[in-house]
Structure 1
Amino acid sequence: MIDEGATKIETYRKFFHQLVLLYRPFENNLNIELGKHNLYRAQWTILYRLFNDGPSTLVDLSTYQGVEKPTVTRTINRLEELGYVEQIPGKDKRERIMQLTELGKTIYLEVRVTIDQFEQDILTGISEVEQQEAIRIMESIRHKLIK
Structure 2
Amino acid sequence: MLYRPFENRLNVLLNKHNLHRAQWTILYYLYNYGASTLVEISHYQGVEKPTITRTFASLEEMSYVEQVAGRDKREKRMQLTGQGTAVYEEVRVTIDQFEKEILKDISESELIDFIRVMEEIKNNIKK
Q: Secondary structure at the match of 2:2?
A: helix
Deviations 1:66-107 (A, max 9, x none): 111000000000111111111110124333211111111100
Identity of aligned residues (%): 64
Q: What is the distance in 1 between the residues matched to 2:31 and 2:123?
A: 23
| CA RMSD in angstroms, aligned pairs only | 1.2
Q: Displacement of 1:136 after TM fit?
A: 1.6
Structure 1 unaligned segments of length 5 or more: list them. Answer: 1-20
The aligned length equals 127
Which amino acid is the alignment partner of residue 78 of structure 1? S
What TM-score, normalized by structure 2, do the two folds share? 0.94
Larger helix proportion of the pair: 1
Match of 2:52 among 72, 76, 88: 72
Which amino acid is the alignment partner of residue 17 of structure 2? H
What TM-score, normalized by structure 1, do the two folds share? 0.82
| Structure 1: 4+ residue segments shifted above 2 A | 91-96, 143-147
Alignment of 1:1-147 (within 5 A): 21-147=1-127
Bigger Rg over Cα: 1
